Amino acid sequence: MMTVILAFASVVAVSLVSLVGVATIALDEARVRRLAMLSISFAVGALLGDAFIHLIPGMFENVAAGKAPMSASLLILGGMMVFFIVEKLLQHHHGVLHDYFHGREPGSRPELAVINVLGDAVHNFIDGLVIGASYLVSPTLGVSTTLAVLLHEIPQEFGDFGILIHSGLSVRRALLVNLGSASVAILGTAISLSLGSMARETVTTTLIPLTAGGFVYLAAADLIPELQHDRSLRALLVQTILISSGVAVMGLITFID
């Protein structure tokens, strides 16, 4: 029973990191949106760093014996295609978001918020699976895994919050959406504790490459083009530093994992 309590306490603590954007509530909307554009650059680095430093290498390290690595590669590409298809459907004039957001603020991109939340929810679900499985091994491993996930989530959630603001959501709505996405980790932990590590490995061999592909698509197809609108040398310098910082933070976390 103590293992279950510790596991759920840990995943709830990790989920609450999604409220990192609460620090911006006291700021006016214009300033928040300026900060969001800066966090977009950081998010590009964090998403690509997460995909290429954590998810993809870890996936190939855990490829089951006798299983062709090509299947994992195809799942990564499949993840990119899934996010491409979802975004195109959301943008379609008969899509579910068209009527709802018709007449909203010009420049808002609700489809960007949806695909970001979709990818982040799957990623959080995997984190929950990992936390639950680690506590099944030992409380010590559970705590260390929780710490690694927690440090990993701080830059990730900071970038996610910026993306939601940039897509047109208000600060309060972005906080609620981000919290809802993060809370999916609790479901992952519940499933992991119920079914054990074997079920976790079966799920993650499919979800991890799909998530990695989704993160690459989101960074390369949606966020980088947003950064290209400002072509000044100052923007180039700031964006390069922030993207590099996002990658660097994800790289440093490998020394803690």
CA distance 218 to 235: 21
- The verdict on residue 47 lying in a domain is no
Q: What is the pLDDT of residue 126?
A: 85
Structural domain range at position 207: 2-18+79-97+104-253
Using a 10 angstrom Cβ sphere, with 0-12 exposed, 13-18 middle and 19 or more buried, the burial of residue 68 is exposed
Helices (H), the chain: 2-15, 29-49, 56-61, 69-91, 96-101, 110-137, 139-166, 171-182, 184-195, 197-217, 224-227, 233-253
214 phi and psi angles, rounded to 5 deg: -65, -40
- The verdict on residue 25 lying in a domain is no
- The verdict on residue 31 lying in a domain is no
161 phi and psi angles, rounded to 5 deg: -60, -45
Using a 10 angstrom Cβ sphere, with 0-12 exposed, 13-18 middle and 19 or more buried, the burial of residue 12 is middle
Count up the domains in the chain and report the number.
Answer: 1
Which of 245, 248, 50 minimizes the C-alpha distance to 152? 50
Do residues 177 and 164 lie in contact, with contact meaning Cβ atoms separated by under 8 Å? yes
- The verdict on residue 188 lying in a domain is yes
CA distance 93 to 100: 11
Q: What is the pLDDT of residue 160?
A: 85
Helix/strand/coil for 28: coil
Do residues 110 and 95 lie in contact, with contact meaning Cβ atoms separated by under 8 Å? no
Rg of the Cα atoms in the chain: 18
The DSSP call for residue 247 is H
The token duo for 184 is 């999916």
Q: How far is CA 242 from CA 5, 236, 251, in A?
A: 38, 10, 14
- The verdict on residue 24 lying in a domain is no
Kindly give the confidence (pLDDT) of every residue in the chain, 257 residues in length, as a single tens digit, with 9 standing for 90 and above. Answer: 788 899 999 999 999 988 877 777 667 767 777 787 888 898 899 889 888 988 888 777 766 545 567 888 999 999 999 889 888 877 665 555 555 444 455 556 777 788 888 888 988 898 888 888 878 877 887 887 787 788 777 777 878 888 888 888 888 888 899 999 999 999 989 988 888 766 666 666 788 888 889 889 988 988 899 899 888 999 999 999 999 998 998 888 777 65
Residue pointed to by tokens 């970038």: 159
Q: What is the pLDDT of residue 220?
A: 92
Q: What is the pLDDT of residue 103?
A: 46
